[in-house]
């Protein structure tokens, strides 16, 4: 049996990394083989591209999307697909929706270009479940600031981050079967509870543990 592919998406400070850790630990404690990974990155080559994409630039939006998809292609080919094929559940902090939200909705990349790059790089791979952690921009920026400044996306203004948030919500609305919007304003445990219950729908045995 192949594994399941779960992605976490959302703006900065929404709690993706924290909840991805909890989710991977819970799946593992439920007896499932689990791989937790992130984008851009996950493999040595993709992590090298991450450095370029996040800490160099600014890039032309198409070039930036190509960097994200080059890293993703490497990650999918060398890590995600082999893991799924081996029956491993993959929990990934950000995936292709981030490119549509940040480079597409945020920076104005034509959505048709995103589609072409996605077709080329992913060859039909789609997450089984995407958890979109939704948080007002100001709250996310405050959380990220408290944690300490990081990459150049965090330096972009409120308008940019509002377009990204709207983009994630539009993506979720267009694909309600795949995407679940999680209200990330709540405390850590409440957010985790919502994630656990939604994920449990992927497998009857998990529903009992949720
Ligand atoms: N990017 C892109 O442009 N295109 C792409 O295709 C891809 C990515 C894949 C990756 O940076 C950047 O790359 C990202 C988009 C761009 N840029 N931004 N911004 P990253 O992976 O290094 O950063 P991030 O994804 O934005 O992660 P983050 O800012 O660390 O946010 P998070 O993972 O969602 O949150 P967290 O680390 O779990 O939590 C942040 C803080 O909030 C931390 O102190 C927590 O303890 C706290 N927290 C979390 N949840 C709560 C709740 N519920 N209540 C209170 N406090 C909380």
Residue 190 Cα to ligand 1 middle (Å): 18
What are the pLDDT digits (tens) for 172-200?
999 999 999 999 999 999 999 999 999 99
pLDDT of residue 138: 95
Calculate mean pLDDT across residues 109-136: 98
Atom of ligand 1 nearest to the CA of 161: 19
Q: What is the pTM of this model?
A: 0.97
Please check the confidence at residue 149 and state whether its pLDDT lies above 70. Answer: no
Least confident of 51-60, 86-95, 98-107, 152-161: 152-161
Q: What is the 3-state secondary structure (H, E, C) of the chain?
A: CCCCEEEEEECCCCCHHHHHHHHHHHHHHCCCCEEEEECCCCCHHHHHHHHHHHHCCCCCHHHHHHHHHHHHHHHHHHHHHHHHHCCCEEEEECCHHHHHHHHHHHCCCCHHHHHHHHHHHHCCCCCCEEEEEECCHHHHHHHHHHHCCCCHHHHCCHHHHHHHHHHHHHHHHHCCCCEEEEECCCCHHHHHHHHHHHHHCCCHHHHHHC
Give 41 Cα–ligand 1 centroid separation in angstroms: 14
Mutate to test the pocket of ligand 1, among 8, 132, 143 (most ligand atoms within 8 A of CB): 143
Give dist(CA 66, CA 69) in Å, integer: 5
Give the residue whose CA is nearest to atom 4 of ligand 1.
Answer: 99
Higher per-residue confidence, 205 vs 63:
63
How many Å lie between the centroid of ligand 1 and the Cα of residue 147?
Answer: 10
Atom of ligand 1 nearest to the CA of 50: 13
Closest ligand 1 atom to residue 188 Cα is 53
State the distance from the centre of ligand 1 to the C-alpha of 113, rounded, in angstroms.
25
Decide if pLDDT at 150 tops 80: no
- How confident is the model at residue 139, as a pLDDT? 95
Mean of the pLDDT values across residues 166-172? 98
- In this predicted structure, the answer to whether residue 203 has a pLDDT above a threshold of 90 is no
The predicted pLDDT at position 210 comes to 76
Instruction: State in Å: Cα 15 to ligand 1 middle.
Output: 6
**Confidence band for 84, pLDDT divided at 50, 70 and 90:** very high
Residue 146 has a pLDDT of 84
Q: Which residue has the tokens 């993703």?
A: 72
Residue 49 has pLDDT above 90, yes or no: yes
Pocket test for ligand 1, best of 47, 49, 94 (most atoms within 8 A of CB): 94
CA–centroid distance, 51 to ligand 1, in Å, is 16
For 34-59, what is the mean pLDDT?
Answer: 96
* Average pLDDT for the chain: 95
């Amino acid at each position: 049996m192949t594994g399941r592919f779960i992605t976490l998406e959302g703006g900065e400070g929404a709690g993706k990394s924290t909840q991805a850790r909890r989710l991977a630990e819970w799946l593992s404690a439920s007896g499932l083989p689990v791989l937790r990974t992130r984008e851009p990155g996950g493999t040595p080559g993709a992590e090298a591209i991450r450095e370029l994409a996040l800490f160099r630039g600014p890039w032309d939006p198409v070039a930036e999307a190509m960097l994200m998809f080059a890293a993703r292609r490497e990650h999918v080919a060398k890590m995600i697909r082999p893991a799924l094929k081996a029956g491993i559940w993959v929990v990934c902090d950000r995936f292709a929706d981030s490119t549509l939200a940040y480079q597409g909705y945020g920076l104005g990349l034509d959505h048709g270009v995103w589609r072409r790059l996605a077709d080329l790089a992913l060859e039909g791979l789609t997450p089984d479940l995407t958890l979109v952690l939704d948080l007002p921009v100001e709250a996310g920026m405050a959380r990220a600031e408290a944690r300490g400044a990081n990459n150049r996306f965090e330096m972009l203004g409120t308008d940019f981050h509002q377009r990204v948030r709207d983009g994630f919500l539009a993506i979720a609305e267009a694909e309600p079967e795949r995407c679940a919007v999680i209200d990330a304003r709540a405390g850590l445990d409440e957010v985790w509870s919502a994630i656990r219950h939604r994920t449990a729908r992927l497998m009857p045995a998990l529903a009992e543990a949720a």
